[in-house]
Amino acid sequence: MTTQSCRVRSTPAHVLALLLAASFAVDAQADVGDAVTIASGLANPRGLGFAPNGDLYVAESGTGGQGNCTFSPPNPANQRCYGETGAISRILPEGGFVRVVTGLPSLVLPDGTSEGGPVDVSFLGTAAIVSMSWGGNPALRAALGPKGYMFGSLLQVTPGGTYKVLADVSAHEVAENPAGGNVDSNPYSVLAQPGRRIVADAGANALIEVRPNGRTRTFSLIPFLPAVPPIPAPREPVPTSVTEGPDGALYVGELTSFPFWPGTASVMRVASDGSAVEAYVSGLTAVVDLAFDAGGALYVLEIARGQVGPFPPPPPPNPGLGIGRLLRKCPGGTPEVLLSGLTFAAGVAIGPDGAAYLTNFSTSSTAGEVLRLAVAPCQ
């Protein structure tokens, strides 16, 4: 394991990785509203997690590479190509970041957007649990490269930066296909809990439980959504996030399937044993991540303002995709907007200082960033 570091400054920083040399343009992006940029130059940054000592880590999905390619499930005409450029990075207290795990597999489209690689990090003690996204039929992984088998898996990472595959989550979809339909697995968010890890598989439309020995089982199915005209069929929930609430239940955010109509997504409450699923907050749009603070307030990150009519829309499609905002629901209250004007924001975490930390420009291979938003406690 080698370490790469990158600080926020106005000139490019050149760093060495274990398997390749890369350079990063780290010009600081403009702050968003009251949020301050604390790290820039990240490669497709997605989920965030705080270690027990208060250090903040981010999953970088990487820049792909020149390896074998496979089609993109949302658009089969596009190819996503393999490289070992994914990473787990620690955000430095003085600003910037240092890469503590490198060489993880990554799949990236020609425009630089990652569609496979590290996407979330959750801590259980000092060990980090990392989810590796995939998307599509897991049978295609083997042909990509030496570490292609790691897509669709959970990794366990030590404080020293070594890692091992804890479980093949996508293999569960092949064996069980709990929601039916096409075989499709995209492990996205992960929540590490004592005795288990819960994965929100956005492709399988299910929560998957992973035991410490790597065994998997379907923990809960997230119900399909009602049809919204002019779409005549029920829509997939596409669970993108899972977190534990102050009541011990699990809370799951829905991206929903295309089109992302405004106000048609929800946060679902799932009983701690997976036995019951009910809507907790509705009227949301394209939820991509969730977090609770110490006072029990729920933070909801949206990645789109919502599709507008007519349907299909005039070019370019999805006029609201990528225009995000952060909302907060105080206990007993209704969701209120804390921050808007985000661009493909993907992750949110609440720090020991009570501030909200977010990834922004999460589909950029060179300009991804982490923001810090100071927030006052709920009254």
**pLDDT per residue as tens digits for the range 22-75:** 223 334 456 899 999 999 999 999 999 999 999 999 999 999 999 999 999 888
Q: Check residue 3 and give its pLDDT.
A: 46
Q: Which two tokens stand for residue 293?
A: 């603070």
Taking the CB of residue 183, how many other CB atoms lie within 10 A of it? 16
Residue 145 is predicted with a pLDDT of: 95
- Give percent above pLDDT 90 in the chain: 81
Q: Which of 186, 193, 190 is nearest to 237 (CA)?
A: 186
pTM of the model: 0.91
Confidence band, pLDDT 50/70/90 cuts, at residue 310: confident
* Higher-pLDDT residue of 220, 228: 220
Of the candidates 82, 195, 102, 106, the one whose C-alpha atom is nearest the C-alpha of residue 157 is 102
Mean model confidence pLDDT for the chain: 90
Least confident residue range of 95-104, 173-182, 228-237: 228-237
For the segment 193-205, the average pLDDT, to the nearest whole number, is 97
Query: What's the whole-number mean pLDDT along residues 136-144?
Result: 95
pLDDT tens digits for range 236-276: 999 999 999 999 999 999 999 877 889 999 999 999 999 99
Q: Picking from 121-135, 170-184, 300-314, 360-374, which range would have the lowest pLDDT averaged per residue?
A: 300-314
